[in-house]
Amino acid sequence: MALSASVNPERYRTARAFCLTSAVWFGAAASFGMIGAGYLIAPDFMANIGFIHFGKTRPVHVNLVLFGFVTPGLLAAAFYYVPRLLRTDLYSEKLGVFTAVLWNITLPAAVISLGMGYTQGREYAELPWLVDILIAILFALVVFNIIMTIRQRREKILYVSVWYVSAAVVLTGLTYSLGNVIWQPSTGALLGIPDAILLWFYGHNVFGLLLTPMGLAVAYYVIPRATRSPLYSHTLSLIGFWSLIVVYTHIGTHHLLQVPVPTYLKTIAIVDSVAMVIPVMVVLINLWYTVKGKLGEIHADIGAKFVFTGTIYYFFVNIQGSMMSLPIVQRVTHFNNWVVGHAHIGVLGFAGMTALGGIYYILPKITGKPLYSKFLADLQYWLILIGITGFAIVLTIVGLIQGQAWINGETIYRVLPEIHPYYVSRAMLGVIILAGAYIGIYNVIRSLYFNSGETS
């Protein structure tokens, strides 16, 4: 295969930069998560270090996972497949690399400000105004680069992945600014109950309009390519895309079912949360039928293996999510570790797995050499798969213990000792995930810069 001949070192610099960004910040984000898990077992272990105590570590972990690991990982793939699918070059590699550099300035700024207590105090919208502005600029730069690439395309038809990724960056730029109340620099918040409504509209759309469409875009690219089969159905692609944008945007209020917000908002949120079955199953039927009879090819390509596993977790997280939106279920699951498990299934199991898959799928193509180590990539796959599956099981059990105990009148203090062993096993699984993240950093850096392997 004359791959190397087609790889000009100037091409795909943006994609490379984002691969590296994602890999490194995955390690950082997982480390912060690990510290948090440690606090839940032994709160005095790292006592009185203000910068990293639990209340700081947790938002740093969440923001780094979302904006340091998963988003850049999914963007790395996008900066490869968007030009490929449009039969052109990226509009500006310079701008792309600049975006990546600015991204890596923004993330430490986020860590430092949260560590120092500069926070808006709103989950998923913690980052202070200056960092918000940086992130809005970053999304604007990505939007500009992608739109201009689309404008200079030599392929008339836009493939599904291009729909998803352009919608994702445009809509997230807007909802991020809206959700962070960017016109109110001092507080970044509204007053009273409307603040909660806006916050969860935005908070849920981090998944609905950013991670999910960008993850699906990668899946729509990698799965047909790796299996060398045409996409199963154009009609299903259309239904899946439009129904995702319509349905997902409605459901944020399901975080507020037990809070005094207007009933019609809750009703819409519940109905649409259940209706999420449509965009999810339509996409999965489309992707899984594309793979039909060709699982061997998925298995043979480590990138596709990550991505395909991501689609399976996409199924789980959404079926679970629809269930959790039912008030009778939420009476047990709300406020406890069940939700933490759900978030990890979605963000690591689906979006994170898919981002890693995207990175490993494009790395040989953007470097012109095979991966530095397929073995390490495979090892990372298994470590993360075992880690996230364990998380799903352990945190769901903890959630059921807490939820059932509370609903029967046990107090928090009575339940805490009961869940301690589960926190311990969660931290042990965290070590496995952390090991996977560090192996990934090594493998990605070696593949990008110190790869002595033969050019393929």
Partner 1 sequence: MRMTPVTILVGVLAILAAVVFVMVFWPYTHRDMTPSEIYRTRSPGEESGRVIYIQNGCVYCHSQSIRTIDWGPGAERIAQAGDYVGDKPILLGSQRTGVDLSQEGGEHPDDWHIAHFIKPRYTRPNSIMPPFRWLGMQKIKTLTQYIQSLGYKQADHRMQRQRYWKQESIKAYEAGPEYNVKWLAEQVPAGWRNIPNPYPTTPAGMQRGRKNYQDFCIGCHGPIGDGMGPAQPWIYPPPLNFTILKGRQISGGIIYYQIMNGITGTAMPYFKRELESQKIWEVGDYVAVFFINQSDANADPRGIDAAWEP
Residues 394-423 touching partner 1, rule: CB under 8 A, are: 402, 406-407, 409-414, 416-417
Applying CB under 8 A, does 5 fall inside the site for partner 1? no
Pick the closer one to partner 1 by CB: 201 or 360.
201
Closest approach of partner 1 to the CB of residue 56, in Å: 6
Closest approach of partner 1 to the CB of residue 88, in Å: 14
Applying CB under 8 A, does 336 fall inside the site for partner 1? yes
Segment interacting with partner 1, rule: CB under 8 A, options 223-231, 257-265, 286-294, 307-315: 257-265
Chain centroid, CA 305 distance in Å: 17
Applying CB under 8 A, does 151 fall inside the site for partner 1? yes
Pick the closer one to partner 1 by CB: 244 or 353.
244
DSSP three-state, residue 399 = helix
Helices 353-367 and 302-324: crossing angle in degrees, nearest 10, is 160
DSSP three-state, residue 290 = helix
Sign of CA dihedral 445, 435, 217, 370: positive
Pick the closer one to partner 1 by CB: 13 or 334.
334
User: Half-sphere exposure of residue 363, counting CA atoms within 13 Å on the CB side?
Assistant: 33
Segment interacting with partner 1, rule: CB under 8 A, options 2-10, 20-28, 147-155, 380-388: 147-155
Contact present, 385 and 361 (Cβ < 8 Å): no
Out of 6, 112, 185, 335, the only residue in the binding site for partner 1 (CB under 8 A) is: 335
Pick the closer one to partner 1 by CB: 74 or 298.
74
Pick the closer one to partner 1 by CB: 166 or 396.
166
Segment interacting with partner 1, rule: CB under 8 A, options 14-22, 26-34, 115-123, 359-367: 115-123
Pick the closer one to partner 1 by CB: 366 or 419.
419
Q: Mask: binding to partner 1, 295-334, rule CB under 8 A, as x and -?
A: ------------------------------------x--x
How many residues bind to partner 1 according to rule CB under 8 A?
83
- Tokens in use for 98? 């600049």
Segment interacting with partner 1, rule: CB under 8 A, options 21-29, 89-97, 220-228, 337-345: 337-345
- Tokens in use for 372? 């530095």
Which of positions 170-229 make contact with partner 1 (CB under 8 A)? 170-171, 174-175, 178, 187-199, 201
Contact present, 70 and 351 (Cβ < 8 Å): yes
Contact present, 298 and 291 (Cβ < 8 Å): yes
Looking only at Cα atoms, what is the longest distance across the chain? 69
Q: Mask: binding to partner 1, 231-250, rule CB under 8 A, as x and -?
A: -------x---x--xx--xx
User: Half-sphere exposure of residue 199, counting CA atoms within 13 Å on the CB side?
Assistant: 20
Pick the closer one to partner 1 by CB: 120 or 451.
120
Q: Torsions phi, psi of 406, nearest 5? A: -60, -45
Length of the chain: 456
Applying CB under 8 A, does 452 fall inside the site for partner 1? no
Cβ burial of 417 (10 Å; 0-12, 13-18, 19+) is: exposed
Applying CB under 8 A, does 112 fall inside the site for partner 1? no
Rounded to whole angstroms, the Cα distance separating 311 from 289 reads 12
Segment interacting with partner 1, rule: CB under 8 A, options 102-110, 132-140, 144-152, 430-438: 144-152
Out of 167, 283, 355, 394, the only residue in the binding site for partner 1 (CB under 8 A) is: 167
Rounded to whole angstroms, the Cα distance separating 14 from 272 reads 37
Distances (CA, A) of 298 to 201, 227, 291, 357: 36, 6, 8, 11
Rounded to whole angstroms, the Cα distance separating 96 from 119 reads 29
Closest approach of partner 1 to the CB of residue 142, in Å: 15
Closest approach of partner 1 to the CB of residue 231, in Å: 13
Applying CB under 8 A, does 92 fall inside the site for partner 1? no
Applying CB under 8 A, does 275 fall inside the site for partner 1? no
Applying CB under 8 A, does 268 fall inside the site for partner 1? yes
Which of positions 27-46 make contact with partner 1 (CB under 8 A)? 39-40, 43-44
Which phi-psi region, left, alpha or beta, contains residue 128 (left: φ > 0; alpha: ψ -120 to 50)? beta
Rounded to whole angstroms, the Cα distance separating 318 from 324 reads 10
Applying CB under 8 A, does 255 fall inside the site for partner 1? yes
Distances (CA, A) of 443 to 206, 336, 362, 392, 440: 28, 36, 14, 26, 5
Closest approach of partner 1 to the CB of residue 173, in Å: 11
Closest approach of partner 1 to the CB of residue 366, in Å: 25
Q: Which DSSP letter does residue 153 get?
A: -
Pick the closer one to partner 1 by CB: 1 or 412.
412
CB atoms within 10 A of CB 150: 18
